[in-house]
Structure 1
Amino acid sequence: MAFSSHRTPNAPFAPGIDAEEPISAASTPSDTAVVLVVEDDPLLRMNAVDMIEEAGFRAIEASDADAAIQMLETRNDIRLIFTDIDMPGSMDGLALAHAVANRWPPVRIIATSGHFKVSETDLPSGGRFIPKPYRQHQLVNMLAGLSTAAHL
């Protein structure tokens, strides 16, 4: 299956984008919040970045938790993290979520997985979970809610 970076209103370019559920202006960020997307699958990472940027957020990306930690150590503009749970490396997405909550408490976290069901008690306080496959409006509304709650 080929993916295109161009989309018409009636043709979603990748799984998970829901052209029938428009994103309201109220659900997009008032100031451009930076979202760090942490996903080991390059196509899923690219898809998530596209969804997030289409909604008006700025997105940066990391292929694993170690790269995400390095980015957090060198940048002070990351306000939200959207991370896969099942990733290779020294830590999975849940361990990353807890490490971020301990070192960067203002950063809000959304975890995702197609293999695990996670309750919000498994995540740090304020963390959220969205199962794969997710729709663009679900992800964006969750990001917008967290960015509004954190006054980002």
Structure 2
Amino acid sequence: MSVVLVVEDDALIRMDLVSMLEEAGFEVVEASCADEAIAILETRLDITTVFTDIEMPGSMDGLKLAFAVRDRWPPVSIIIASGRIQPQAHEMPTEVQFLRKPYSEASVLEAVRLVA
């Protein structure tokens, strides 16, 4: 089973993502910021996908988190989402999916299934 780490500071958006992914059969772990996500990744070896927002409080945003994940956990798939920032390909790690907010449930599930 694929385990998805959802990293989103907005509690309502995070709850919606977790619900839709769990209903689709994924195991989901939640983090409200990149620092929390890194701590989870350091202890959970079963995470296969990180789904992160870009704009978050803390020591790093979602893009920096994505680069950290790619560097430290290369096999982990990464999906980045944002409603305001549209990063260029060279501003993201390789092999990353980008979703523009507001995203549909279908686009989220398609992206996760593609990388999981």
TM-score (norm 1): 0.74
RMSD: 0.8
Shift of 1:49: 0.5
Q: Give the aligned length.
A: 116
Within 5 Å, give how 1:2-151 maps onto structure 2. 32-147=1-116
Correspondence for 1:27:
none
Larger of the two Rg values belongs to structure:
1
How far does residue 122 in structure 1 lie from its aligned partner after superposition?
2.0
**Identity level (%):** 53
Taking structure 2 as the reference length, the TM-score comes to 0.97
Cα distance in 2, alignment partners of residues 39 and 80 from structure 1: 14
Name whichever structure is richer in helix by fraction. 2
Contact 1:120 1:128 in 2 (8 A): no
Higher strand share: 2
In structure 2, the residue corresponding to 1:72 is in which secondary structure?
helix
Structure 1 residue runs of 5 or longer lacking an equivalent are 1-31, 148-152
Q: Is the 8 A contact 1:38 1:82 kept in 2?
A: yes
* 2:99 alignment partner AA: I
Following the alignment from structure 2 to structure 1, what is the Cα–Cα distance between the partners of residues 112 and 47? 13
